[in-house]
Chains A and B, each alone.
Chain A
């Protein structure tokens, strides 16, 4: 009880355990407030500290998000993500929103349809299915939006599958007050994206704070300034060990094509990679180094998950399952691939001496070699590719990452404990493999 009361006095509303200071800094940077996510991070950090592993970390990328709102531009209905019909026009930031800021939009238009459908264009405005982020499938979804009218009116809120099923619900609004209206429906099958639409017979309507989310409850509104992808990327980029939005803190900058979700960051295998800004020559040690990557994708192509090459043929990298072989190269130029039946799980490439290099998969040592170290690569480590000696990214990965680290060398016990902590973290987020 003492721990809880202290935590609450600090304004911490997440896990019912005393939050770690490192976790607090991370939550402040990322804006993560979800209890599940905060608890998972807090337990991870406290576990790594208890195991003596935290101090060996230089960069920790947890790829965690508390994104719930599946819509974009949720306070900007003028954006093309929102379709406008019936001569509807949107004037942004012209009315005081429920949160007291001048961020609500004024929507004008004359609507006269009494039997609206998606196809007849009777909506005032709608979140285009082409810009939505979730398919109907068999999902139960809840859409919500804050609306305000100066006279009592009837309004319809619709949730629809683009080109498919549609659900509508009518509300009678009181005059001169903000009301949050919502609709919950379960789709049957359907691969079309889900959108949200409004129909109104008011000539002027004020709107703010649209939300679409999984489940049957309209939870606290979560603003998404631009896109859901940008929102998640803004949380994924932070290094848990040093959560400052700086290259010097080894924050990630994503390059090329990525898709971000609650299960991790997925590079497209075409041109997607992330720059860690971590240069082993500047920040690492030749004979004490590790890199790790939690892969949620089973593949077998020529893909590097994390690494750098400098100069030519001197590598620090993890290449998970190319033609059935996984490679652990730590400041070296040669080494054998290890037979690997799949590319799922948590991989650690590790060096603890000039002639000791090993590799772990899911806590088990699968590589134990005496390959000599050569040099510390003098260039930045890339994630989901490697920073090739000709200064380009190469061997783009398709493997979704749910966790990755860079740091000092780990003992066998450290590697085993790290896997245990990371797997518990993934399990807490329901995304373990």
Chain B
């Protein structure tokens, strides 16, 4: 049985500095998952992935991928790996990024 679809956002690393970024609704890339475009259907996710692929081709980001996220204002990724990517190493709170990207 196919896995039920879960809302997702698209994340990548920015090419020039490697920073973790998220695809925003206007096609720009933001460091704040909260400002990411949320896909609530497979079609919406495919649309985001297509836009991300364009950004990869345009050498703006690398390793773009859709990841499951909360359907909330925070858009927080669900997996531990992605939550760590969002805020930074858990062992260095002094280097942590706020989920808002600041």
Partners in one complex: no
A residues adjacent to B (C-beta < 8 A)? none
